Amino acid sequence: MTGRFGRQPTGWGSRLLARLSRWGRSVAGQVFALQAVIVLLLIAAAAVALVVQARYDSQRDARHRSLAAAEAFAHAPGLPEALKSPDPTGALQPLAEAARRGSGVDFIAVMSTEGVRYTDSRPELIGQKATGDLGRAVAGESFTETFTGEPSDAVRAVVPVRDASGAVVGLVGTGIEVANVSQVVEGQLPLLLGAAAGGLLLGTGGAALVSRRLRRQTRGLGAAEMTRMNEHHEAVLHAVREGVLIIGADRRLVLANDEARRLLDLSAEAEGRPVAELGLDPRTTELLASGRIVTDLVHLAGDRLLAVNVRPTKPFKGRPTGHVVTLRDSTELAALSGRAEVARGRLQLLYDAGVRIGTTLDVVRTAEELSEVAVPRFADFVTVELLDPVLRGDEPSLVKGAYTEMRRAAISGIRTDSPLQPVGDVIRFVVPTAPMAAALDAGHAVLAADLHAAMGWRAQDSQGTRAALDYGLHSLISVPLQARGVVLGMANFWRADTPEPFEEEDLSFAEELGARAAVSIDNARRFTREHAMAVTLQRSLLPRVLPDQSAVDVAFRYLPATAGVGGDWFDVIPLPGARVALVVGDVVGHGVHAAATMGRLRTAVHNFSTLDLPPDELLGHLDELINRIDQNEADGGAAEEGNSDGVAGPAGITGATCLYAVYDPVSGHCSMASAGHPGPALIRPDGQVEFPELPTGLPLGVGGMPFEAATFRLREGSRLVLFTDGLVEDRDRDFDAGLRLLGDTLARPGRSPDEACSDVLAAMLFPVPSDDIALLIADTRRLEADRIAEWEVPGEPSAVSRVRNAGSAQLAAWGLEDVSFTTELILSELVTNAIRYGSAPVRVRLLRDRSLICEVSDGSSTSPHLRYAATTDEGGRGLFLVAQYADRWGTRYTERGKVIWAELPLTGGAEPQAPAPLDLDALEDMAW
């Protein structure tokens, strides 16, 4: 009986040799032999390396132990004295032996500087001179060495012994015999050999398992047989004129023959990649990846119609392994393939139109996208005309045929030298039989297959149509753009270079394309209207001009978001005492509601600033106000929802942030507090940019936590930059990166606030901002010392006249004699009131700014009130006089009292005419 390799041998030995011979010639046997040799070599090398390493480690350990024992004994107390004693051996031998046993070394020898042993673990060596070079130790150097010679080979260490003066008076030698070191290594050999044998068994066993699995998969074939089998496989697979694909269970392409590559235009690197990444059209990808069983399915793939068959492969161990796909080119269906290609192209164009039209909420850009998407796949030229109200965002007329003219919004073509009217021109439809007018009147697309025969179109503009015909335009489809039953404009599709004219079957496609574009245009129009309303509302609520003040030199920028107006705002509010408040805030959200909310918050900040509160207290009042408004609106919304068939109530104001800063040009102090808003940037006069840390509170409307203020002293010429997060943060840039870029931009020297605003926007503005941007840059100033006058006022009535006289003298020095009388009157009333009803200390301060500011402060927190005194009252008219003569007056509270202030013009033109001269000394006795 013969087998695969010839006649089957007989006998037990012969059969074993034959089996080993076959096993050795197979791929599995050769792999096993190679792995076994590699494992054996690796284990042998590892064992040798371990032995060498163990010997080296043992000697190194012996050196360290010897040196440590020698140094410890050499530095033992009393050793120098023992060496100088009459009997060093008697004194040191017991100590040396005890130290030797404790340290685990083989010997400890104490020697003189000539090398004569005083002590040794072998008594017969005491008194003999040690061999070897001890010169380094005598010179004061400790060393270790491997000593070879009498009395034994050893790893020894020699350390000098020094007396109190540092002189070497003896030597200490310790060591471990080499024989004992080798015993340690030899004791580890059985373990090393056992580990090597175990590793050899494990490696050989692993190789045997791998070889067994490989033999099972290769079925015991040798290399030559496997090569011959692969050659046959390749010849059969690639010779057939039918495409074959094998796709694995993980949806990856396992194999593709030459015909399949040709039919599907697969690259040479296609095998091994997921089906979804082969670059096939979506329908073909879905068919190949689905694995569903099909038989002779006619499938359009590119420009080919394929007959496709799909069958699952045989499961392996109960698990699916994929499927086989065969492809056959059906050339007899070429005509049907052409028609399907046209239909597929139209469907693809509609898909592209849905993706490309309406990418922005801009009316003109949407019209341009419609004209661009149809050229050149459907028309050679496309023009889009829109009604003027649509371009403005207004609602067009609902009357059918009410418009006879439109404005051209977009034009696209295969060339730029078209004879059609350019963008911006007014297009009139005055001839009812023209295709444009007929389409508007009928409400659907109208075809003019031959423009030479379109008499209505030619009569509408004889000169323009003659130029269009001479240019080559020969076919037209006019489609009215309608949304919600309202005409928005007109789209015209022209053919010139394409020889085939438009046909009736093109009308439905053009109408579908126009309908999709009309919806996007209407959405853009409605957004334009809402955006314009929100921008108008917001700009009416933001400050148009900044108030006159001397504390800071201010520049600002505000940019609304492209996608919709938000609720960012800023403000500059003059405060009494030549101070100024800088405010910036942000309301979360976009649209009209955000703009209206911003206006409410800005008005509230203005109202609270008149109370002259510290920044943290002002934010606390603002937070309380917002909570109350939210509560009222929530209650009102619930009532409306219950009484008006589910109509939702108004939205609240939650989600607002604010940064409020107060700068005093007299002291240079700047106090600020934040309600969830980013802190400012501070540019020192030397150009250093920093972002000071602020105790950031919760956003407004959240409630529950108090706000905290921080105070900084700013040198004159410092610059404060307040901004909203839309300036530094966006989808493509995080907050920290934005702060770094802002700091680098602000570091430019010699830039005015307005120039700095331009620099910041040029460096940081996003191409399409998704949030509003508010930027406020203020250069701080200081009020000159010669514009400030202060006096301490004693708590006695007679001090009033002295203060009045001092104030009059100061006004004369300032050249303000015109307001001297009014100022003396106001100072008399305010100082008299402070002395009578306030408490010490009483201070008077005059500030010459854009106006003359009189301030009287005292330690009392009680505030006077303006009232009308009766004819029988003896007092109560002083504050009334102050209110009559001053432009503005008021009270602000400090940490330890209050300040009553009054502002007067720098000229006396506004002074009321008194009916009779007043006795200022008599006014001091007038009560409030």
Residue 339 exposure: Cα atoms within 13 Å on the Cβ side: 4
DSSP state of 188: H
- Main-chain phi, psi angles of 323, to 5 degrees: -150, 160
pLDDT at 574: 93
Q: CA-to-CA distance for 687 and 735, rounded, in angstroms?
A: 23
Which one is predicted more confidently, 367 or 68?
A: 367
- Return the number of other C-beta atoms located less than 10 Å from residue 319's C-beta: 7
Mean per-residue pLDDT, 231-249 = 73
Mean per-residue pLDDT, 810-837 = 86
- CA angle at residue 131 from 126 to 132, to 5 degrees? 145
Write out 556-601 in H/E/C secondary structure: EEEECCCCCCECCEEEEEECCCCCEEEEEEEECCECHHHHHHHHHH
The first and second tokens of residue 309, run together, are: 């068959």
The first and second tokens of residue 723, run together, are: 């901004």
Per-residue confidence band for 711, with pLDDT thresholds at 50, 70 and 90: very high
Q: CA-to-CA distance for 585 and 700, rounded, in angstroms?
A: 10
Q: CA-to-CA distance for 867 and 76, rounded, in angstroms?
A: 100
**529 burial via Cβ count (<10 Å: 0-12, 13-18, 19+):** middle
Of 194-203, 269-278, 403-412, 766-775, which gets the smallest average pLDDT?
194-203
**342 burial via Cβ count (<10 Å: 0-12, 13-18, 19+):** exposed
Q: CA-to-CA distance for 156 and 174, rounded, in angstroms?
A: 5
pLDDT at 917: 46
Helix (H, G, I), strand (E, B) or coil at 895: coil
Q: Taking a C-beta distance cutoff of 8 angstroms, is the pair 118, 79 a contact? A: no
Q: CA-to-CA distance for 264 and 336, rounded, in angstroms?
A: 19
DSSP bridge pairs for 674: 659, 696
Q: Taking a C-beta distance cutoff of 8 angstroms, is the pair 680, 721 a contact? A: yes
Q: Summarize pLDDT for 756-799 with one digit per residue, the tens.
A: 999 999 998 877 677 788 899 999 999 998 999 999 988 888 88
Select, from the ranges 89-103, 198-212, 222-236, 450-464, the one with the highest average predicted confidence (pLDDT): 450-464
pLDDT at 799: 85
Per-residue confidence band for 411, with pLDDT thresholds at 50, 70 and 90: very high
Alpha helix segments (H runs only) across 165-275: 178-218, 223-239, 258-264
Span between the terminal Cα atoms of the chain, in Å:
138
Per-residue confidence band for 680, with pLDDT thresholds at 50, 70 and 90: very high
**Cα 588 to Cα 87, 407, 659, 750, 772, distances in angstroms:** 97, 38, 15, 35, 10
Find tokens 């005492």 and name the residue. 577
pLDDT at 189: 65
Of 45-49, 514-518, 892-896, 909-913, which gets the smallest average pLDDT?
909-913
Per-residue confidence band for 20, with pLDDT thresholds at 50, 70 and 90: low
**430 burial via Cβ count (<10 Å: 0-12, 13-18, 19+):** exposed
The first and second tokens of residue 156, run together, are: 């020894």
Q: Summarize pLDDT for 553-591 with one digit per residue, the tens.
A: 999 998 877 655 667 889 999 999 899 999 999 887 776
The first and second tokens of residue 452, run together, are: 């030479």
Q: CA-to-CA distance for 781 and 553, rounded, in angstroms?
A: 8
What one-character-per-residue DSSP string does 462-490 give?
Answer: HHHHHHHHHHT--EEEEEEEEETTEEEEE
Select, from the ranges 80-84, 295-299, 300-304, 715-719, the one with the highest average predicted confidence (pLDDT): 715-719
**393 burial via Cβ count (<10 Å: 0-12, 13-18, 19+):** middle
- Give the list of residues 6+ apart from residue 709 with CB closer than 8 angstroms, or none: 614, 615, 616, 671, 672, 673, 695
Q: Taking a C-beta distance cutoff of 8 angstroms, is the pair 237, 254 a contact? A: no
- Give the list of residues 6+ apart from residue 726 with CB closer than 8 angstroms, or none: 561, 566, 568, 586, 769, 770, 771, 772, 773, 774
**DSSP-derived pairing of the beta strands 709-713 and 669-675:** antiparallel
Q: Taking a C-beta distance cutoff of 8 angstroms, is the pair 889, 612 a contact? A: no
Dihedral of CA 259/263/268/270: which sign?
negative
pLDDT at 584: 95
Q: Taking a C-beta distance cutoff of 8 angstroms, is the pair 306, 340 a contact? A: no
pLDDT at 915: 41
Mean per-residue pLDDT, 162-183 = 78
Per-residue confidence band for 648, with pLDDT thresholds at 50, 70 and 90: very low
Per-residue confidence band for 26, with pLDDT thresholds at 50, 70 and 90: low
Q: Taking a C-beta distance cutoff of 8 angstroms, is the pair 846, 852 a contact? A: yes
Of 179-188, 281-290, 595-604, which gets the smallest average pLDDT?
179-188
Q: Summarize pLDDT for 300-346 with one digit per residue, the tens.
A: 777 777 888 888 887 766 666 788 888 887 755 555 555 656 677 77
**Cα 464 to Cα 416, 420, 440, 459, 461, distances in angstroms:** 17, 8, 21, 10, 5
The percent of residues above 70 in pLDDT, for the chain, comes to 81
Mean per-residue pLDDT, 36-65 = 75
Q: CA-to-CA distance for 46 and 35, rounded, in angstroms?
A: 16
Q: Summarize pLDDT for 861-908 with one digit per residue, the tens.
A: 777 766 655 444 445 566 777 777 788 888 888 888 888 888 888 885
The percent of residues above 90 in pLDDT, for the chain, comes to 16
- Give the list of residues 6+ apart from residue 3 with CB closer than 8 angstroms, or none: none
Q: CA-to-CA distance for 641 and 651, rounded, in angstroms?
A: 13
DSSP state of 319: B
Q: CA-to-CA distance for 836 and 832, rounded, in angstroms?
A: 6
Q: CA-to-CA distance for 629 and 623, rounded, in angstroms?
A: 10
**Cα 730 to Cα 722, 734, 736, 746, distances in angstroms:** 18, 6, 11, 20
- Give the list of residues 6+ apart from residue 53 with CB closer than 8 angstroms, or none: none
Going by C-alpha positions, the residue among 600, 649, 650, 648 that lies closest to residue 625 is 600
pLDDT at 575: 92
- Main-chain phi, psi angles of 890, to 5 degrees: 175, -175
Instruction: Tell me: pLDDT of 181 over 60.
Output: yes
pLDDT at 3: 41
Going by C-alpha positions, the residue among 246, 237, 284 that lies closest to residue 264 is 284
Mean per-residue pLDDT, 25-40 = 69
- Return the number of other C-beta atoms located less than 10 Å from residue 838's C-beta: 23
The first and second tokens of residue 574, run together, are: 């003059």
pLDDT at 115: 80
Per-residue confidence band for 473, with pLDDT thresholds at 50, 70 and 90: very high
pLDDT at 11: 56
Q: Taking a C-beta distance cutoff of 8 angstroms, is the pair 120, 109 a contact? A: yes
Q: CA-to-CA distance for 125 and 107, rounded, in angstroms?
A: 11
Going by C-alpha positions, the residue among 303, 293, 304, 302 that lies closest to residue 326 is 293
Mean per-residue pLDDT, 664-673 = 93
Per-residue confidence band for 922, with pLDDT thresholds at 50, 70 and 90: very low
Going by C-alpha positions, the residue among 139, 94, 92, 138 that lies closest to residue 117 is 92
Instruction: Tell me: pLDDT of 86 over 70.
Output: yes
Instruction: Tell me: pLDDT of 5 over 50.
Output: no
pLDDT at 743: 92
Q: What is the pTM of this model?
A: 0.52
Mean per-residue pLDDT, 440-455 = 89
Rg (CA), the chain: 50
